[in-house]
Structure 1
Amino acid sequence: MEKPVIILGAKGIAHPALEIFNSNQVIVYGFLDEDESIHGTEINTVSVLGNPEDDGFLKLIGKKTEAFVAVDDTKYRKFLVELLNERRKVQPINAIHQTAYISTDAIIGHGNFINAGVMIGAAAEIGQHCIFHSGAIIDHKAKIGDFAQIGAGSVINSEVIIEEGAFIGSGVTIVSGVTIGKNARVGAGSVVISSVGNNETVFGNPAAKIKS
């Protein structure tokens, strides 16, 4: 990758995203964040330049720089992705750590954050703008929908389907063939042995639905 990168967001996964780009010898031009109190500060010598909606910075994206959205909150991540799509006609790039293993026949979309030690198996299908924290394992033929988030050390076994916007906490095990519905949440350390419906929250071993 020849172009430098502007990272949208300067909190949460922004710092590890910077480390990923540094490890791949990709220059990070700067961060953009809506929090004005951190404008002008630095993260590991890289400046927080201004607001993501500032046209002065946005106009750099596409011709001179690439963009990566480093925001944990799904709703705001979607907003920033749409902003880039509509105003700059670009898709965010992937941030993939050097120590991640991705099978040669896995399918991966745009804008994903794939941290150290993540393993993505044969014929797995990864959507767009997902977050995979350190050491997550996505086994063969698993399918991960757009804007899903997988916690550190979680094991997503073969042929699991995780639908759009689902959140999987750290250290979760999901057994083969289970479906996790759209915008569902699975609490940290849970063992999921049966499918989870849309918008449901489950926790425990075996995971059970938590009533809201």
Structure 2
Amino acid sequence: MFDVQRELGGALGFRHVDSGRRVLVEVQGDVRHAGGEVLLQDVDVALQRGQRVRVAGANGAGKSTLLAVLLARLSDAAEQVGILPQELSDPSRVLEDVRRLDPEVRGRVLGTLATLGVDPDRVLVTDAPSPGEARKLALAGLLSATASVLVLDEPTNHLDLPSIERLEAALAAWDGALVLVTHDEALAAAATTTTWEVADGRVDVRLDEGRPGVP
């Protein structure tokens, strides 16, 4: 049986590594679909070290395309990025990836999974985790890695209320840059200070007064 560092009901915390750069990524000009059609016009956004951004907008407005551009440019800049997609394409693959981890890292991931309310011993013997278990496995892996930037697309999907509350506290305490897509207003209020509003083919930048870190 795997060595699991358990702390049931404990706090969560992301592992930050400083980028060393003030501006981590910029997107300027038109953003296009893969086919070449312009989706967002005259975009002018920059993610700075430690900045906490919510990407908001209706479904289909272009949030996912903007995230894809940001991730590609962060990769080109060799930033350490922690990514949680909106949906996991293969939940079973998440479990297999955890099984193949170095024992020390695997124990840390499974311990975080226990903190999120899932019995690691039970999950490890299943062929396919449930959507909620897979989501928590992916989140536990993210919490066990180091990053200078977190890019989270609807991270509360399939999570129960206690897990959402722990995630909210962890993001509020996060020292790195954050790009967050969420319909959870409480999470956005706790974790972000700037909004990039995607609507009508444009991206408007708004500083959200009254949120943590905003005068």
TM tier, shorter chain? under 0.3
Q: Which has the higher contact order (CA 8 A, sep 6+)?
A: 2
Q: Using structure 1 for the length normalisation, give the TM-score.
A: 0.25
Instruction: Name the structure where helix makes up a greater proportion of residues.
Output: 2
TM-score when normalising by structure 2: 0.25
